[in-house]
Structure 1
């Protein structure tokens, strides 16, 4: 029987998020396969995906009850649980119980001296810290740790051909043969009974609005469309409430009533996509772009930049714009708003395109690579 240890790094920090979603989906599928044991030697996680998965074991459930009771009593548990998770993982690596492959979920190299020559397989999600270090206060430390793990990993999973290309461009000494591209899947569903209070006509933006996500570029690009149509809205789903700077920016556009920030429950997100006239993803860079898959899966036309990994994911189902042209972005959105037949055409293309991306395929490809890492070690 093959034994794989999955560490807790991403799950220490994310309640939701793409990285923790990725590992939960992959390892939930792998846990059901014969002759394979998935080991998650953690004490606690607040991660919603994990807690709703088959990976969530009895001991972790008991620990969760205890720690969340302490939290209700005003006792902070975040740092304590992180330390306990690292401690449990280190104890498992130091124990006599055998394992075959170690899978770190982020870039902390704490385990390197503990795996005793056993292989580890690293997933690289993007090279954003290397390409846009000005946006990240921890860029130097993270880049150093990531490169160390890239160099020492038995195998590397890149989430797109674009990410693989970026790795090899930035670090040409890395052996290309140890990098394999494995695409994400999506499990999003449309809940028609969702009770989200949405306007009738809206353009959708999802998630973080940080610098490289290019939210202000989008808002500035479509200000004319919004002002010419007071019944049209830009809905920003998630990403936190608008901060002071964003509020001032939206005021400067005179669009406080038409640019909205709405939170959502996990089961409501598909409904946000489904009811939108289109979804716009103006990001300057993504390793993959999970929201692109989500949008297509929910039959929502997607407008996205003509760069990065986007063409790999959206194929001919994407409406592409020049990332240096606000006019082009506005015109592409306007063409969808004014032409229902065009929206339907791209929705249908998205339904076909999404068939290429399944978590089942991704899980099998990951398992095949884990087996290869054992053979070459």
Structure 2
């Protein structure tokens, strides 16, 4: 096949999307397909250093210059070319190829749902709603879709005004290598590298400051656990530096000396963070897939996550589940104490019990094999070409 991947521009710095695109490109090239990647260049973007204006100039690069540039390229592409959109958020470009063989990869519809006021924890402004409507008007012109979870597929079908020609679920395949390391050795290594005393274990969270990651909830669970247990175990939060709200909550915490943030770490170091953790706490409000759940399990770490899809799809029977954090702060306090009981349960596991949990985790993530995922995606691509 001749495959053209439409991808987000590099200047948006969407690491997960870059990784996903690279996985698709590498996988299809290794299978002998002719592959090109099309994405906008930054022409207008660097005309200013002011963040507000950079955002809007970036839109000019993406939705004015880029379509002009590629219209001619589309016309001269061979008739057997498959146009693949690596994210449904690239919807505004879909009408350019809606009459040619095409397919869209869908990750999550959180922004779309937020724009319709379906998410209490996150509100979208007027310009954001217009932008999401533009995305919708694009991807709703498509016929073929691949979703990363059953939850994402269900959301897609709720948004589409028609039954798609093809709509499949392919769980993400590992595009990094995460393996179990000896917990003691991992903790010793991390302690020496960070200067933080971690040799007796720690709670771990991995994620950014996006609203749906619920980092405030992680801190609430930690404080509830510490208040009810005589155990001075640290909390390690890997990802972005805390935003203003989280930073303020940390400063006011009586356990602030034991709360640590790590940023800009590579996958190898992250693997050791997972392997050394006493438990991985991931109480997200929502996800498209929930990569860190699979990464933690692959690294030999027990996982506590939210009892809602798609987190439950990824965790399977191997995870410890807690309810979604209530939006009401009074109820959230009770939620944190109940979640803290689950943390204590995991930390109280006997060695043989913990080993059984970890074995189940590792067995569970075999479902997310990268080779199998690429093979399944290739088969779906071939089906799309048969339909056209």
Q: CA deviation at 1:98?
A: 5.0
Q: Deviations over 1:17-46 (max 9, x none)?
A: 2x2222211221111113x2111245879x
Q: 1:93–1:302: structure 2 CA closer, same or farther, 3 Å change rule?
A: same
Q: Give the counterpart of 2:129 among 134, 140, 147.
A: 140
Matched with 2:163 is: 175
Q: 1:224–1:112: structure 2 CA closer, same or farther, 3 Å change rule?
A: closer
Between Structure 1 and Structure 2, how many residues are aligned? 342
CA RMSD of aligned residues (A): 3.0
Matched with 1:22 is: 20
Matched with 1:366 is: 377
Tell me if the contact between 1:43 and 1:88 (Cα under 8 Å) persists in the aligned partners. no
Question: Equivalents in 2 of 1:289, 1:309: separation in Å?
Answer: 7
**Is 1:32 matched with 2:26?**
no
Q: Secondary structure at the match of 1:93?
A: helix
Q: TM-score, normalised by structure 1?
A: 0.80
Structure 1 residue runs of 4+, over 6 Å off? 83-87, 191-195
Q: TM-score, normalised by structure 2?
A: 0.78
**Is 1:130 matched with 2:149?**
no
Q: 1:12–1:213: structure 2 CA closer, same or farther, 3 Å change rule?
A: same
Q: 1:110–1:170: structure 2 CA closer, same or farther, 3 Å change rule?
A: closer
Q: Which runs of 5+ in 1 are unaligned?
A: 46-75
Question: Equivalents in 1 of 2:93, 2:346: separation in Å?
Answer: 50
In the TM superposition, 1:1-377 aligns within 5 A as: 2-9=1-8, 11-14=10-13, 16-17=15-16, 19-34=17-32, 36-41=33-38, 89-95=70-76, 100-106=81-87, 107-115=89-97, 117-133=99-115, 134-137=122-125, 139-171=128-160, 173-175=161-163, 178-186=166-174, 187-190=176-179, 196-197=193-194, 198=196, 199-200=198-199, 201-227=201-227, 228-229=229-230, 231-239=232-240, 241-263=241-263, 264-324=265-325, 325-341=335-351, 342-377=353-388
Question: Equivalents in 2 of 1:311, 1:335: separation in Å?
Answer: 19
Q: 1:174–1:12: structure 2 CA closer, same or farther, 3 Å change rule?
A: farther
Question: Equivalents in 2 of 1:321, 1:22: separation in Å?
Answer: 29
Tell me if the contact between 2:6 and 2:37 (Cα under 8 Å) persists in the aligned partners. yes
Tell me if the contact between 2:320 and 2:342 (Cα under 8 Å) persists in the aligned partners. yes
Q: Deviations over 1:37-68 (max 9, x none)?
A: 111245879xxxxxxxxxxxxxxxxxxxxxxx
